[in-house]
Chain A
Amino acid sequence: MGRLPPAILFAESTLKNLVLDPLVWAIALGGIALYALIPRSTKVSRSIGVTLGAISVGLFLLCTMGFFPTHQFLRNLPLLPLNGTFTSQLVFSVCALVTIVSAVCTITMRSPVYAAIWFAVTLTGVSGLLLFQGAQFLGLATIVVYAGAIVVTFLFVVMLAQSDGHSTYDRITWGHVPRAMSVIAAVLMVSVLTFAVGRESQDEREQVAMAIEQLNREASNGVELTADQLANVRVSDVIAVDLRSDVSDETLKILQSQLPAVLTQIDAWQNKPLRIEKLSRNNDLLDSEHMAHLGAEMFGRHLISVELAGTLLLVALVGAISIVIQGRSNDQEESTTS
């Protein structure tokens, strides 16, 4: 046996990793399920697509819960262990599941009415995810503006335009080739994005948080040190550690005296000066005065953009009305001349 060239060996090991990785199979099965579920000209029952989709989602969940410890593709992406308890993980999983399943239903339903209703379900899922993340105003705005206004307008147009039952063009697509190409593009995009996300190494903030917790374990000075007190960590020429504004002065003093000793043990940070400060105002997104801060940001820093958005809404309103009136008069002219 002669020795194989390194390029072939590299390709072989990469392929082996890819084939052995359950997550690759999950994404691929999801793509096949999507392809099978999209409306098509021949009569195929939807159960195949549904089964494949369920297998794909199950594999995904197993991967994220660490059922396959050796998989290579997403080495650093522990999906489910979020910050917090089992309940918060459950809430996140349910919201994510609702969002994705109803999104797939939106594009596979034959009837546009059902598609619009499933889209409203997707919006509730997205709103739940935004709420889970602490973006309260966005969650509510999504429900009010999208589900309350946009989807209802869509439903109005569906009722106006397609009041007499189903149409043939909802049951067919552009044929096999565009369908397969779009699904392949989708699968590749998700794979590349997951790969890019999964390659992210440990966060700097997490390292500092671990250091703080280590201090808390070692020290016995009666002051509670928790990672929640940490607001932000920025690493450039200087390592800047910002603490929340409600941290007591005592804690700040303890951290300023003890944290550098722990942090300089990290190799990459050894020769950099360290600055530990308390934020003057809480820029924390999880603050109790969430709405006030968001409004201050919007009408302070982004005031001109707000004005522009208002103008844009006005222009769109005038434009939509003028499109309809203009089209009507053109139609009448055509009917009188012909």
Chain B
Amino acid sequence: MNELNLLSNYLLLGSLLFVIGMVGFIVRRNMIVMFLCAEMMLQGVALSFAAWSRFHHDWGGQVMVIFMIAVAACEAGIALALILMLFHRSDSLDIVVWQDLRESILPPYVDRQIPEEMDEDRVWPTLTPAGIEPDVDIGEQTHRPRI
């Protein structure tokens, strides 16, 4: 019967998740990662709602979390459509490309230093090979170089 401890634990965890998401949203420049961070903030709030729901023995908090999941799904759909459109226009996911939207009195943001790619970052997820290796058409590869 230590409901208060449970509540404070969950509130603390929820605030940590929210804050980490907030830092990511402010700091990162990739639009997709920014939206992931927004979703993470929503998760933090959802944890707090569920904790209060348990504490007060009331279903309202849990129902609220269900609505939050619905709204988050809507938000993700529209945001991804927007991101795809923005990507088609500028060919980049960088949010700096859209800094024309800033106040006219503010100076433009320019990168001072762009770092080299480190070897440790050049690692991609790999899939275990399975089945027979297909014949690769050289002509098709040169025709569609991105694949």
With the chains together, A161 CA to B87 CA distance in Å? Answer: 7
Q: Which residues of B contact A119 (CB under 8 A)?
A: 36, 39-40
B106 CB to nearest A CB, Å: 13
- Per DSSP, chain A at the interface is helix
Report the nearest B residue to A183, measured CB to CB: B23
With the chains together, A328 CA to B81 CA distance in Å? Answer: 11
Q: Which residues of A contact B85 (CB under 8 A)?
A: 323-324, 327
Q: Is A103 an interface residue (CB 8 A)?
A: yes
Q: Which residues of A contact B9 (CB under 8 A)?
A: 79, 82, 92, 96
B2 touching A107 by the CB < 8 A rule?
no
Q: Mark B13-52, 1 if CB is under 8 A from A, else 0.
A: 1011101111110111110110111011001001100110
Report the nearest B residue to A308, measured CB to CB: B67
Q: Which residues of B contact A197 (CB under 8 A)?
A: 8, 11-12
B26 touching A182 by the CB < 8 A rule?
yes
Which of A9-17, A198-206, A249-257 binds B?
Answer: A198-206
A182 CB to nearest B CB, Å: 4
Q: Contacts A34-B23, A103-B20, A182-B23 hold; do A298 and B77 have CB atoms under 8 A apart?
A: no
Report the nearest B residue to A142, measured CB to CB: B69
Q: Is A302 an interface residue (CB 8 A)?
A: yes
Q: Which residues of B contact A266 (CB under 8 A)?
A: none
Which of A104, A126, A160 is within 8 Å of B46, CB to CB?
Answer: A126
Q: Which residues of A contact B77 (CB under 8 A)?
A: 153, 316-317, 320
Q: What bracket does the count of chain A residues touching chain B fall in? A: 35 or more
Q: Mark A222-240, 1 if CB is under 8 A from B, else 0.
A: 0000011011100000000
Q: Contacts A107-B24, A116-B36, A153-B76 hold; do A83 and B87 have CB atoms under 8 A apart?
A: no
Report A's interface with B, CB cutoff 8 A: 34, 38-43, 77-79, 81-83, 92, 96, 99-100, 103-104, 106-107, 110-117, 119, 122-123, 126, 129-130, 133-135, 137-138, 141-142, 145-146, 149-150, 153-154, 157-158, 160-175, 178-179, 181-183, 185-186, 189-190, 193-194, 197-198, 200, 202-203, 205-206, 209, 227-228, 230-232, 283-285, 293-294, 297-298, 301-302, 305, 309, 312-313, 315-317, 319-321, 323-324, 327-328, 331
11 contacts between A and B (CB under 8 A): A34-B20, A79-B9, A82-B9, A100-B13, A112-B93, A119-B39, A169-B92, A172-B114, A174-B27, A190-B16, A228-B1
Report B's interface with A, CB cutoff 8 A: 1-6, 8-13, 15-17, 19-24, 26-30, 32-33, 35-37, 39-40, 43, 46-47, 50-51, 53-54, 56-60, 62-63, 65-67, 69-78, 80-85, 87-89, 92-96, 109, 111-118, 121-122, 124-125, 146-147
